[in-house]
Amino acid sequence: MSGLEGLLVVIGLTAMTLLSRGLFFLSEREIPLPPWLEPGLRVAPLAALGAVVAPEILLDQGRLVSTWKDPRLWAAAAGAAWFFWRRGILGTIVCGMAVLLALRFGLGW
């Protein structure tokens, strides 16, 4: 990839990330959304995050994980369990990573 193309990619990605983050609050005017859609949009942030997270946990090289000996499954389960027990995101991360590293280095998964 030439320098110019690289520059275009960086400018394009920067502009697109900026616009997508602010799309609905950068404009002065209300961007009309159909009223019937509004109750559905309440779940959209959750759905968007879930859509990003689920494949990271459940897929391996684009295929559904077929063994229970995948440390990511247990790490995610441990992290979620911590969250609903203690309600802390730092604990979710620490607990999940502890399980992940323990299984990877302790059991060699």
Distance, in Å, from the CA atom of 54 to the CA atom of 41, rounded to the nearest integer, reads: 20
Minimum Å gap between C-beta 106 and other proteins is 13
CB 65 within 8 A of CB 58: yes
Distance, in Å, from the CA atom of 57 to the CA atom of 109, rounded to the nearest integer, reads: 15
The yes or no reply on residue 39 touching other proteins (CB under 8 A) is yes
In the beta sheet, which residues pair with residue 63? 60
Minimum Å gap between C-beta 29 and other proteins is 10
Q: Which parts of 57-96 interact with other proteins (CB under 8 A)?
A: 57-59, 62, 64, 71-72, 75-76, 79-80, 83-84, 88-90, 92-94, 96
The yes or no reply on residue 44 touching other proteins (CB under 8 A) is yes
- Nearest in space to 50 (alpha carbons), one of 75, 86, 13, 80: 80
The yes or no reply on residue 5 touching other proteins (CB under 8 A) is yes
Among 32, 34, 52, 68, binds other proteins (CB under 8 A): 52
